Each structure stands twice: as C-alpha cells, then as structure tokens.
Amino acid sequence: MNKRDAEAQSAELLITREFNAPRDLVWSVWTDPKHAMQWWGPRGFTTPLYESDLRPGGTVRVHMRAPDGTIYPSVGTFEEVVAPERLVTFSVVDIGGAVAFEVRVTVTFEEHDRTTTVTVHQAFSKISAAGSNAISGANQGWNQQLDRLEVYLRELDR
C-alpha cells in the first residue's frame, strides 16, 4: 500500500472546546436525546431522530436532515460510557447504500470551576471515495455543531 492509499484508509480529527456550564449539565445535554435533538448537527441541519441506549453495548441512532431535506442516518454502538467523564462510540456510516467509513468517536468532559472542556477525537477507518468527501467537512461540521451546543447551553441557563 502506498502512502496515498494509507491516507485514504484512515484519518483523525481532534477538537477541544470550553463551555461555561457544569460538566453534569453538558453531559446531560450531550447524552439525553430530548436535548441532543435540539442542537445536534451542523448549522442549518435538524435532528428528527435521536435514539440512545446509553450503556456499553447499547446503540445510538441519529438522523440528521440537511437544509436540502437529505437525511443522513448514523447507527453506532456505545463502547464505553463513564458518566459524566467519557463516551466512546463506534459507527459504520452509510452513504447512498454503501459503507462510506467507520468511525470511533471519543468524547471527554473535564470540569474546572463550573466550566467544562469537551474534547472530541474522531478516528476514521475504511474510508471509501464517498466517505472521503464526507469527512473532508468533519472539522467544519463539528465546530458548527459545538457552536450550536454553546447556544443551547446558554438558553438553558436563562
């Protein structure tokens, strides 16, 4: 496998954001479907479906609706749930009826004086051509999603 092929097989993304909210609240808003549906997804997206069985081995199903109406389904499995500190999921992402990529997402929640630092680490593997296009926007999508989380947390604080 040459270097270019290796790059197409795996990729990683690391984002750290700080929120002016206690960790228990950020954890709840992240893991409770009724909250997550309000902010999950990039700017302009909605989340008409967010189902979660929050335990190791449990599943999470999310449908994000793009502004053009396209639904992007995702189904994952919780590998690790350590409330309110760490959440690890593994998903196989389908685009147009074919596997686009696999992704392991590790999210950590650290509190310092009622401020919570959230770190998102995504490790992509088995990336197809369609998957490569999709993950090229992952950094922007996550940052927009975390912007939405920040706004939602501020609204809850009112």
Distances (CA, A) of 129 to 73, 125, 133: 18, 12, 7
Confidence band of 92 (pLDDT split at 50, 70, 90): confident
The arithmetic mean of pLDDT across residues 113-123, rounded, is 96
Write down the pLDDT at residue 6: 36
The arithmetic mean of pLDDT across residues 40-46, rounded, is 97
Reported pTM = 0.90
Residue length of the chain: 158
Domain boundaries, the chain: 3-156
Q: Where are the alpha helices (DSSP H) in the chain?
A: 3-9, 23-31, 33-39, 129-135, 138-156
Confirm or reject CATH 3.30.530.20 for domain 3-156, answering yes or no: yes
Lowest-confidence range among 12-26, 33-47, 82-96?
82-96
Confidence band of 134 (pLDDT split at 50, 70, 90): confident
Q: Which helix (H) or strand (E) holds 120?
A: strand 115-125
Confidence band of 96 (pLDDT split at 50, 70, 90): confident
Closest CA to 123 of 98, 145, 90, 94: 90
pLDDT over threshold 60, residue 5: no
Write down the pLDDT at residue 48: 98
Q: How far apart are CA 117 and CA 119, in angstroms?
A: 7
Confidence band of 127 (pLDDT split at 50, 70, 90): very high
